[in-house]
Amino acid sequence: MKPFKELENLIASGFGAYVRSTRHEALGVGFYEIQLVNCKLYMFEKGVLIEWPATQEHVMYADIVDIKSHLSVEVFSRASEDRDLNIFLPLEIIHLSGVFALEVQLLVYSRLLIVLNKLWGGDNV
């Protein structure tokens, strides 16, 4: 698998890791995982698996309806003003059966959003 530049940047920044020998019956081969505030997110060739403290859920990329970002100029301005990068924002994966609301750190947010959008859009890893 050819990695995204954004995944390489995330790993180099200390966020997440490539996974080896991970296979999911519906999602195919896994290639990346990242610990978020409220869950662990695993990326597979056909979808994502989210491991919550008490359960696991997955969704195929084809079943995603929208990925809603809460990133804005105001968020960056506030972080800059406060000199605080330890800010967490919701990232919503809206799918045919509901919504996964992930809490994502500002430092990771845009790169993770780009990767998820590329995967949802059908770009190959």
Place of tokens 């947010």: 109
Lowest-confidence range among 3-7, 46-50, 85-89? 3-7
Predicted local distance difference test score (pLDDT) of residue 122: 54
Report the C-alpha gap between 86 and 63 in whole angstroms.
32
0.85 surpassed by pTM? yes
For residue 107, what pLDDT band results from cuts at 50, 70 and 90? confident
Asked whether the beta carbons of 2 and 124 are under 8 A apart, the reply is: yes
Instruction: List, in order of start, the domains of the chain with CATH numbers.
Output: 5-120 (2.30.29.30)
Q: Tens of pLDDT along 75-90?
A: 888 888 888 778 899 9
Average pLDDT over residues 8-22: 91
Cα-Cα-Cα-Cα dihedral sign, residues 36, 104, 59, 53: positive
